[in-house]
Amino acid sequence: MVNIAILGFGVVGSGVYEMIKNNKAVLTETCGCEINVRYVLDIRDFSSHPEAEKFTKNIKDILDDPDVSVVVEAMGGSHPAYEYTMDCLNAKKSVVTSNKEVVATFGKTFLSCANQNGVSYLYEASVGGGIPVLHPLLKCLSGNEIVKAYGILNGTTNYILTQMFKNQKSYESALREAQEKGYAERDPRADVEGIDTCRKICIISDIAFGGFVDPDAVHTEGITAVSGEDVSYAESRSCSIKLLGYTKKREDGIVVIVAPFMVSKDFILSNVDDVYNAVTIHGNAVEDVTFCGRGAGKFPTASAMVGDIIDIVNNTAGKNREFGRKDVKVVDYKSEPFSFYLKLSGSCAGIEKVFENCKVLSASDSSAVIITDKTTQSQVEDKVKNASLKIERLIRCL
């Protein structure tokens, strides 16, 4: 029997608890032994829970019990998740988490600490919910040199964008609906401003390229500025607009961007709608592989965490691949070439001379909407400045 503890009995923590109960037979077969939840830590009162005796408010109960070998951190937030995680690792207990905030911020410390203590720190559920993404990247694809990775990493914003496309809703009314359905928080900023996506693409980038990217240093645009006009122009070009986290290796470092992208229907990501997530990884041997599924939710998230627990119990996790083991420079995002959707104001009569080989979607004397040839944002800004134009809207194209 393997004894585990669950920190936090909210949606995710209770999902792990219930999944272990519901799938007991499967787990016992897969692990060759029973997985037993010995403790659940939560500051709230669960004295009327059928297994009330398992609940504790004191982390010391868990730290001091030598029979607990795996701790599931499902508290969310940075504190006390950080302190509890460090305490557990130092007590030589492996930790499994869904908490992207702590992984993106403290992952380097955790992974190094876990290796020092000979235990595992696994965080599959922190990116893409139930979708196996990090494990395939760390294991199956690890013979590849990773070239780039990008994905729809936030279900809330994908739901909102899908509503704007499929049902012609405004951003505001789509957000309201997402809130009513429980897909968006009352304070939706972490989602709609791209902060959640940023944490996740940083984690992917850290695994793929071995650096340790500070989420605060990543150029992050949300979806709050996406307009009905953008949607119409995208549709006219057989594109969707998707909030992507994007990371790519270059000679001079890596580029990391979070922003809405126009995504052509030729990409699988373009057809990944509603609360679904999807990540495409491009390795130099495998080329593009894409992983899709539910990026959040009680049981999908629990599925990823239980998969990590199994890896630890079966002793197949291996040594933790540390973040920041390489000196990886994050280069200026304005130097990364894309094709750009631009809405410009000013004297636009000669726009095709300013942007050679651009596609003009609409133009008048005082404004223009164009798709540029592949160029960089720096070059776009130079051209716009030289022509005394102004950028009203800029969206990258995938």
**Binding residues vs a second copy (CB under 8 A):** 15, 19, 22-23, 26-27, 30, 124, 130-132, 135-136, 139-145, 265, 268, 271-272, 283-294, 297, 299-300, 302-304, 306-307, 309-311, 314-319
- Closer of 107 and 130 to a second copy (Cβ): 130
Give the span between the Cα atoms of 327 and 355, in whole angstroms: 37
Give which of 282, 252, 255 is closest to 337, Cα–Cα: 255
Residue 131 CB, nearest distance to a second copy (Å)?
5
Cβ 232 to a second copy shortest distance, Å: 21
In angstroms, rounded to a whole number, what is the distance separating the alpha carbons of residues 235 and 227?
12
> Taking Cα atoms as reference points, which of 63, 99, 70 lies closest to residue 6?
70
Residue 123: both structure tokens together: 């965080």
Q: Point out the catalytic residue in the list 54, 148, 169, 200.
A: 200
Of 232 and 316, the one with the shorter C-beta distance to a second copy is: 316
In the three-class reduction of DSSP (H, G, I as helix; E, B as strand; rest coil), residue 141 is classed as coil
Nearer to a second copy, 183 or 355 (CB): 183
Q: Smallest gap, in angstroms, from Cβ of residue 261 to a second copy?
A: 18
139 is catalytic: no
Q: How far is the CB of 22 from a second copy (least distance, A)?
A: 8
| 80 cis-preceded (ω within 30 degrees of 0) | yes
Nearer to a second copy, 296 or 348 (CB): 296
Q: Which is nearer to a second copy, 29 or 216 (CB)?
A: 29
- To the nearest whole angstrom, how small is the minimum distance from the Cβ of residue 192 to a second copy? 25
- For residue 243, CA distances in Å to 107, 147, 194, 261, 310 come to 24, 20, 8, 6, 32
Nearer to a second copy, 43 or 285 (CB): 285
Kindly give, in sequence order, each residue whose CB lies less than 8 Å from that of residue 209, ignoring residues fewer than 6 positions away. 146, 247, 249, 254, 326, 328
Rounded Cα distance between 224 and 177, Å, is: 15
Q: What is the smallest separation between the CB atom of 155 and a second copy, expressed in angstroms?
A: 13
Quick check: helix, strand or coil at residue 36?
strand
Please state, as a whole number, how many other Cβ atoms lie within 10 Å of the Cβ of residue 396: 21
In whole angstroms, what is the distance from residue 103 CA to residue 73 CA?
Answer: 11
Of the candidates 152, 125, 131, the residue with the CA atom closest to the CA atom of residue 271 = 152
Query: Which positions are annotated as active-site residues?
Result: 200
